[in-house]
Amino acid sequence: MAHQGEVPSLDYWPLTKEASKASFECGEQQIDAYFKKDAWKQHDRAVHRVTCASLPGSDTAAGFYSLACITEEVRKLPGHHYAPFGGSQLFPCLQLAWIGVHRPMQGAQIGLRMLGKVVTTFATIGSQIGLPHLILLPINDDVKRFYKKMGFEEYDKGERMFLPLQTACEVVDI
Amino acid sequence: MVALRQGLFARRETPSQRATVSAFKVGAKVHKKNGVSANLREAVRLYKESLKSE
């Protein structure tokens, strides 16, 4: 049964080993498998930082997202004019690796709020340490359309998408 | 953190200032072209609103 109506507020907390063992199903096989098998492992090794969202007072994740600091090749971006002579083509960026909402909690804009938090985090950190883009790899065309409506731009032949720091800073008002 | 993950002999795998500057320039062009979408504004508004109600 889907959750009805808006959720007044959400608590955000880092994934715990206990929470990673709880049942989580968003309906996308890849995301469910990640949460079940890899989320805690990656979080514990600091490869990804996994943040859970829950209803106030609950210790069960209503949704989660994971972020990673990675490097990306500038030659994949559309319209870049950088032609290195054997130098590095890599720049740092923030990757939204996974995001999902537990099926019974879907329909309450939890995913949208988590995305708002991700963009706010990116604008805050990116403007302080110099991260040009928030990137992601859409898992299917529906997801791609969703992020396109959010203002993400396709690159790498449509395999990946990015949101510029300038856009995040304007929307967050930094 | 990114640099620390690289091996001592993997200099080509570390980010460069020129590539980072170029990525920022691409971002500026895309931002100028697309601006901020209403959907993204709504996502951030919902997040900020949920903080105020706590």
**What pLDDT, on a 0 to 100 scale, did the predictor assign at position A86?**
67
Q: Is A1 a residue whose pLDDT tops 50?
A: no
**CB-CB under 8 Å, B44 with A88:** no
8 Å CB contact between B44 and B51: no
pLDDT tens for each residue of A136-156: 999 999 999 999 999 999 999
CA distances from B42 to A91, A110, A115, A171 (A): 29, 12, 10, 9
Q: Provide the edge-to-edge strand list for the sheet that holds A49-54.
A: A11-14, A49-54, A63-73, A90-101, A133-136, A160-164, A153-155
| Ordered domains of chain A (ranges, CATH) | 11-79+89-172 (3.40.630.30)
Interface test with A, best of B11, B36, B40, B51 (most A CBs within 10 A): B40
**CB-CB under 8 Å, B31 with A164:** yes
CA distances from A112 to A30, A78, B26, B39 (A): 20, 27, 26, 9
Kindly list the residues from chain A whose CB atom is less than 8 angstroms away from the CB atom of residue B5: none
Kindly list the residues from chain A whose CB atom is less than 8 angstroms away from the CB atom of residue B40: 119, 150-151, 163, 167, 171
Global pTM reads: 0.90
Mean pLDDT, residues A109-130 taken together: 97
**What pLDDT, on a 0 to 100 scale, did the predictor assign at position B2?**
47
**CB-CB under 8 Å, B20 with A88:** no
**What pLDDT, on a 0 to 100 scale, did the predictor assign at position B47?**
94
Tell me the nearest-neighbour CA distance from A109 into chain B, angstroms.
Answer: 8
**CB-CB under 8 Å, A115 with B48:** no
Kindly list the residues from chain B whose CB atom is less than 8 angstroms away from the CB atom of residue A166: 27-28, 31
Which of B:6-45 have CB within 8 Å of A?
Answer: 11-16, 18-31, 34-37, 39-45
Annotated domain spans of chain B: 15-52
Query: How high is the ipTM of this complex?
Result: 0.89
Kindly list the residues from chain A whose CB atom is less than 8 angstroms away from the CB atom of residue B22: 74, 77, 80-82, 91
Mean pLDDT, residues B18-24 taken together: 92
